[in-house]
Amino acid sequence: MDTGGFRCIECNEEAAELHRDYRNGILKLTICEFCQKPVDRYIEYDPVIILIDVILCKTQAFRHILFNTSLNIHWKLCVFCLLCEAYFRWSLLQGSEQSSDPADIIRYTKEWDFYGMFGLAALELWAFCSGVLWFLWVAVGALQGEKLDFRLLLRALLLSCYGKVLLIPAVIWEHDYTPLCLGLIKLLVLTSNSQAIRVILNSSRRLSLMAVCVGLLAEACVVQACEKLPLSIQDFLTFE
Ligand SMILES: [Zn+2]
């Protein structure tokens, strides 16, 4: 059977097509031969509804995005999320350094601080993704003998980091509940990461949660290593 690379969003079985065109503007959703439900009902939904379902971490919405669309914005989204995170950290740094010196050299240094924060955020993301992929390679690839598609997994991980975009409004509309908002954003990102892994591998929730925990551990190790370096990356960039 020619599968066409699509998946049924209800039962995860492969499907040849999402809809059939009967001409004269008549389109009919394909019915899955395994579960007898529409293969992908989201293709006729409004993008806002799909986004709401993605935020609610619905498995069907994740399957629609990851298998049945050719959404290839993961690298752009990744850079944008890193910029959001760098801006957030940089704004915290500015908040802690109350300097009224208007000299240009200060502004120049602050700009380098931003690049330093961007580099750190990128390094932490790299450590997180490497940790997750390494764990999956060991747990699923080596132990269970299944073949892993790392490109698909990386795309899923990067796309599911979309929640970091919310850091910008959290910084702009700063209030007493900002720390709570930051915690919720982190929780949303990690839950989405876990759900994305679960959907791609069609695995148990426990495995995907363990993969995310290993990723977090790798990220924490990199943070510790950066803090303990005799010449931290920030200082290095500042003295350039
Ligand atoms: Zn089905």
Residue-level pLDDT at 64 = 95
Give Cβ neighbours of residue 49 (< 8 Å, ≥ 6 apart): none
**Mean pLDDT, the chain, integer:** 87
H/E stretch holding 7 reads strand 6-7
**pTM reported for the whole predicted model:** 0.85
pLDDT exceeds 90 at position 173: no
Tokens 């049945």 sit at which residue? 68
Reported as a single tens digit per residue, the pLDDT across 177-208 is 788 888 999 999 999 999 999 999 999 999 99
pLDDT computed for residue 21 by the predictor: 83
Q: Give residue 207 CA to ligand 1 midpoint distance, Å.
A: 23
Q: Could you give the CA distance from residue 42 to residue 24 in angstroms, rounded to a whole number?
A: 22
Q: How far is the CA of 220 from the centre of ligand 1 (A)?
A: 40
Phi, psi of 65 (to 5 degrees): -70, -45
pLDDT band for 40, please (50, 70, 90 cuts): very high
- Looking at residue 6, the DSSP 8-state letter turns out to be E
CA of 197 to the centre of ligand 1 (A): 20
How many other C-beta atoms can be found within 10 angstroms of the C-beta atom of residue 27? 12
Burial class (CB in 10 A: 0-12, 13-18, 19+), 86: buried
Q: Is the dihedral of CA 51, 120, 228, 131 positive or negative?
A: positive
Is the confidence at residue 104, as pLDDT, over 70?
A: no
Question: 40 alpha carbon to ligand 1 midpoint, in Å?
Answer: 9
Distance from residue 162's CA to the centre of ligand 1 (Å)? 27
What residues have a C-beta under 5 A from ligand 1, the ion?
8, 10-11, 32, 34-35
Q: What is the DSSP string of 55-107?
A: HTT-HHHHHHHHHH-----HHHHHHHHHHHHHHHHHHHHHHH-------HHHH
